[in-house]
Amino acid sequence: MEENKLIRQQVAEEQYQEHSTRRSLYLQLEKKIKLPIISFFTSFRYPVMLEDNDADILEGVLQKCDLSKGFALLLSSPGGDGLAAERIINICRSYSGTGEYQVIIPGKAKSAATMICLGASKLIMGKTSELGSIDPQMIYTEKDQVKRFSVYNIIKSYEELFSNAVKEKGNLQPYLQQLSNYDAREIAEFQAALSLSEDIAIKALKTGMLPGLSEEEIRDKIKDFLTPEKVKTHGRAIYAEDAQNDLNVEIKDLKEKLWAIVYELYVRLNNFVSTNNVAKCIESKNYSFGAKVGG
């Protein structure tokens, strides 16, 4: 009874019943994993991103949990701010009694969410689970259409155009016209952003699941995450069997009992952050924090 009162204090009235339903799944999953489970979901339906405020909420939940033996983060997010991901890695490691955390990916953990995965000691995935490239994206709206461009591809196209212009011995005008579409200051910012993503990922792995490798060796191992060269586009999935070649990945049988619990919890949480104008949810078995769209 006392525990239920604690839940009621932390969960808004309209969220309480749904969290109570999920709570039994947390208890079942913790028995299987033998670690506390913390969920971190941001919506794929609503226009929200992983951001710095999420780190504060996550820290608030972690403060209330016994993490002396570590914990597993159940993660689902299309991504967001790389600096927020770096901060979340630090928070997860700092609150874990072992200095490590695991990540369970029931569906998709893309972009900056993949960065959070790279800071873990182990990834638990099914064959349908997805990671993604961590190269930054430039997003803007033109005529009510959202357009996304890979910062890596913008830099690459600029550098190739500039190189061809330097080599040109004849008419430079076509190159100059195309180069006028680029702002050198923006290119410098894009290069810095790309370098930052790479730096966060490499440092996270070197102090986490790949401690024995040099930065150059790690860079070579995760090159498919750093650029869209192989995957061709930022949104394309990197599945468990591909990630397993370079990272510490445990692939679960989709029909085993543990994954059935994971998937049911995933479906319930994914529905929760896709309806009722709720866009984010960070919770444990006892505490739940939801963020409204635009809130």
Domain ranges across the chain: 2-132+237-292, 136-231
Q: Cβ distance 291 to 279 under 8 Å?
A: yes
Residue range 2-132+237-292 forms a domain whose CATH class is alpha beta
pLDDT for position 13: 47
Confidence of residue 146 (pLDDT cuts 50, 70, 90): low
The C-alpha atoms of residue 281 and residue 295 are separated, in whole angstroms, by: 12
Convert the pLDDT of each residue in 217-273 to its tens digit.
Answer: 999 999 999 988 888 887 889 999 999 989 999 999 999 999 999 999 999 999 999
| Length of the chain in terms of residues written | 295
- Closest by CA to 36, choosing from 104, 90, 94, 83, is 104
Pairing of strands 102-105, 122-125: parallel
Q: What count of other Cβ atoms lies within 10 Å of the Cβ of residue 287? A: 20
Report how far residue 74's alpha carbon sits from residue 262's, in angstroms, rounded to the nearest whole number.
8
Q: What is the mean pLDDT of the chain?
A: 90
Q: CB neighbours (10 Å) of residue 208? A: 20
The secondary structure of 10-62 as a DSSP string is HS-HHHHHHHHHHHHHHHHHHHHHSS-EEEEEE-SSSS--B-HHHHHHHHHHH
Residues 6+ apart with CB under 8 A from 212: none
The model's confidence at residue 9, banded by pLDDT at 50, 70 and 90, is very low
